[in-house]
Amino acid sequence: MAQAQKLQSGGGPLILSYMDKGGKIAVQQVADGFGMSKTQLAETAGLARETLYRLERSRGTKTQNRLREMLEIISRVADWAGGKEQAMAWYRAQPLPAFGGRTAEALVKDGKAAAVRDYLDHMALGGFA
């Protein structure tokens, strides 16, 4: 999917609101935006606690990719969930039948964010869980 298409489909604006001038996801902004500590955010994203407290590690490729995946999925469900806070609650707690009852959070932690995105695309097109 082209970048412009991602922005139009709702996969981008939430992410963009948490990016700094250098195009990196600003960890403290994300934590504040969801009412979490950096420790809670690290746990939610499946990262080591120390990762988000060290600037060089928080700006690393692996960390940025994981945060981007999390925010993209939350952004995709925010409209029908009733907002970003509700979308975060869905991400963390809603069992997904197509994945044996695992949550989006658990799947992203296991490196399966693409599968969650595909599932959401399928659901958006009227598919069944």
pLDDT of 99 reads 96
Does the pLDDT value for residue 34 go beyond 90?
yes
User: Average pLDDT in the 65-77 region?
Assistant: 95
What are the residue ranges spanned by the domains of the chain? Answer: 3-124
For 9, phi then psi, to 5°, come to -85, 0
Q: What is the CA radius of gyration of the chain?
A: 14
Q: Does pLDDT of 8 surpass 60?
A: no
Cα dist from 25 to 16, 59, 67, whole Å: 8, 8, 7
- pLDDT, residue 123, reads 85
Q: State the burial class of residue 91 (Cβ atoms within 10 Å of its Cβ: 0-12, 13-18, 19+).
A: buried
- Tell whether the model's pLDDT for residue 35 goes beyond 80: yes
Residue 10 is predicted with a pLDDT of: 43
Which one-letter DSSP state was computed for residue 11?
S
pLDDT of res. 2: 36
